[in-house]
Copies of this chain bind each other. A is one copy, B any other.
Amino acid sequence: MKKGCPFGTHRVIEPVGSLPQAAWKIDNTMEIYSNEILLDVITLNVDSASFTQMKQACGNDPEKIKQMILDIVNERGKLQNPVTGSGGMLIGVVREIGPDLKDRGLKVGDKVATLVSLSLTPLKIEKIKSINLNTDQVDIEGKAILFESGIYAVLPDDIPEKLALAVLDVAGAPAQVNKLVNPGMTVAIIGGGGKSGVLCAYQAMKNAGKDGKVIVIEKSEQNAKRIEELGLAHHVLQLDATKPVEVFEEINKLTNGNLCDVVINNVNVEATEMSSILITKDEGIVYFFSMATSFTRAALGAEGVGKDVTMIIGNGYTKGHAELSLNILREAPKIRELFESVYA
């Protein structure tokens, strides 16, 4: 049995020398190297930006989306949306563990969620069993490979697997909020009514405390109302974040011109960088979790309005993120209820 590179470069077909995420095509032969793990896949949880793009491209037709998914995986050896560049994650059962990874405390038969993106995970789909347009989840028969550096979480007993998967997919976001938000801060969550947004709003309320102020900006009335009912913000503004001047004026009014210490961007659409930047106070922080963020738009946009703000690229991983996000479900029964009704 051969040993592969910890990062998976041994499976890159094109361009050679790049890492699997940046690769155009990877080798999805389902025979493991000595430092790989083989999984029987149960469910794919497609990244929201990617699934939105697929639904648009296929006019919401499930059969066409199925075909699009199969075509991408056949062509690239992984489910990486060629337009958004993003993937998602999966749940599967451990089928084989390479001898080099025997000491990890993982065993054949364990049910795990991968915490690395599908955009770099070798995947082979035998059959798509069903597709859920509301939850972005796709049940399949198939196999996937985890590299040595690939992180995963063994699924807990007390949380249904699809619920855990939905939460783990965006686990990086509330964990980063936990790092960035301190007591007394004013925090805005753009797209706070969505999946990652709800978790971020909960964490922001907890960290900002009684002297803090959490503001959620949401486009749809329904999502805005939900946040209000759940008590996940001090203020909920129903606004379109692609209209920066409007958003700036409302937040400027609401904060008496002080603006926000921390802004978290959780939307699933393009062109919301400037709203995020304009409502951040001088020397404040913008955390872009949205995969629809454009690097140049953010960099040049901040400079263009002379804003001295720190802009962070949302890293999907930070230590303890899986535990933190699953604990939110344990601490907040109302959020668990909501997630159960929508995603599980």
Footprint of B on A, CB under 8 Å?
Answer: 5, 7, 9, 17-22, 84-87, 115-117, 119-120, 149-151, 172, 242-246, 271, 273-274, 278, 288, 291, 293-319
Contact = CB atoms under 8 A, between A and B. Distances in A.
A291 to B, nearest CB: 6
A295 B295 CA distance: 5
The A interface, classified by DSSP as helix, strand, loop or mixed, is loop
A271 B304 contact: no
A85 B7 contact: no
B304 A117 contact: yes
A301 B21 contact: yes
B296 A85 contact: yes
Contacts of A303: 115-117, 172, 315-317
Given A315-B311, A316-B302, A296 B151 contact: no
A140 to B, nearest CB: 21
Max chain B Cβ within 10 angstroms of own Cβ: one of A9, A293, A306, A313: A313
Nearest to A9: B245
A21 B242 CA distance: 13
* The 8 nearest A-B residue pairs measured at CB: A303-B316, A85-B296, A311-B313, A151-B306, A303-B317, A117-B300, A120-B304, A302-B315
Given A299-B316, A300-B87, A7 B310 contact: no
Contacts of A151: 306
Given A17-B242, A117-B303, 10 more contacts: A7-B245, A17-B246, A85-B297, A87-B300, A119-B304, A149-B305, A151-B306, A291-B295, A291-B299, A307-B315
Contacts of A317: 302-303, 306-308
A310 to B, nearest CB: 6
A49 to B, nearest CB: 9
B271 A305 contact: no
A191 to B, nearest CB: 16
